[in-house]
């Protein structure tokens, strides 16, 4: 049930006594409050979207940790070229 509220700079009309009495039901107020606060929540493994997002995060964390564990490949050191010794001859 959607209610439309109209907010005007002039302030609008004051509610009548009948309208005020209609909203003065404490049981209904408590019911609405508990329904809003204690919504039934699905577990993550039953909600497909949440499960896929959670699985993606875990997979990404695993791949990053594996990448950090790898030893860095040593850069090839250029071999020093030695000039042949001059021969006496």
pLDDT (tens place) for every residue of the chain, 89 residues total = 677 877 777 777 788 888 888 778 888 888 888 888 887 677 777 888 888 999 999 999 999 999 888 777 666 776 676 666 777 65
User: Exposed e or buried b for every residue in 29-44, given b needs 16+ CB within 10 A?
Assistant: eeeeeeeeeeeeeeee
- Coil, strand or helix at 54: helix
Q: What predicted TM-score, i.e. pTM, was given to this entire model?
A: 0.37
Query: Is 44 in contact with 51 (CB distance < 8 Å)?
Result: yes
């Amino acid at each position: 049930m959607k209610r439309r509220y109209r907010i005007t700079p002039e302030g609008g009309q004051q509610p009548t006594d009948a309208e005020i009495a209609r909203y003065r039901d404490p049981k209904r107020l408590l019911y609405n409050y508990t329904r809003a606060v204690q919504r039934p929540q699905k577990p993550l493994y039953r909600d497909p979207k949440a499960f896929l997002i959670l699985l993606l995060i875990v997979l990404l964390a695993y791949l990053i940790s594996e990448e950090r564990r790898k030893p860095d490949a040593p850069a090839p050191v250029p071999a020093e070229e030695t000039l042949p010794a001059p021969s006496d001859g």
